Amino acid sequence: MTLTLRRGDFTLDLAPETGGAISALTWRGQPVLRQGPGQGDVLDMASFPLVPFANRIALGRVNWSGGLFDLPLNLDGEPHALHGDGWQSVWSVESHSEDAAALTLKGGTSWPWPYEARQTFTLEADGLYQTLSLTNLSEQPAPFGLGFHPYFPASEEARLVARLSGVWLTDETNLPARHLQGWPLVDWRWGAGFPPGRVIDHCHTGWDGAALFNPGPGRPSLRLSAGPDITRLHIYAPPGEGYVCLEPVTHRPDAINTQDPEAEGLVILAPGATHEIWMRLSLLT
The residues spanned by each domain of the chain are 3-284
Name the pTM for this structure: 0.97
How does residue 178 score in pLDDT terms, banded at 50, 70 and 90?
very high
User: So what's the pLDDT on residue 66?
Assistant: 84
Give 232's contacts (C-beta < 8 A, 6+ positions apart). 203, 204, 205, 207, 248, 249, 250, 251, 252, 265
User: How far apart (Å, rounded) are the C-alpha atoms in residues 9 and 7?
Assistant: 6
How does residue 134 score in pLDDT terms, banded at 50, 70 and 90?
very high
Contact present, 64 and 112 (Cβ < 8 Å)? yes
pLDDT one-digit tens code per residue, 27-75: 999 999 998 776 789 999 999 999 999 999 999 999 998 889 999 999 9
CATH number assigned to the domain with residue range 3-284, chosen from the 4 options 2.40.40.20, 2.70.98.10, 1.10.10.10, 3.40.50.300: 2.70.98.10
Task: Please work out, in degrees rounded to the nearest 5, the angle formed at the alpha carbon of residue 233 by the alpha carbons of 231 and 238.
Answer: 170
Give 66's contacts (C-beta < 8 A, 6+ positions apart). none
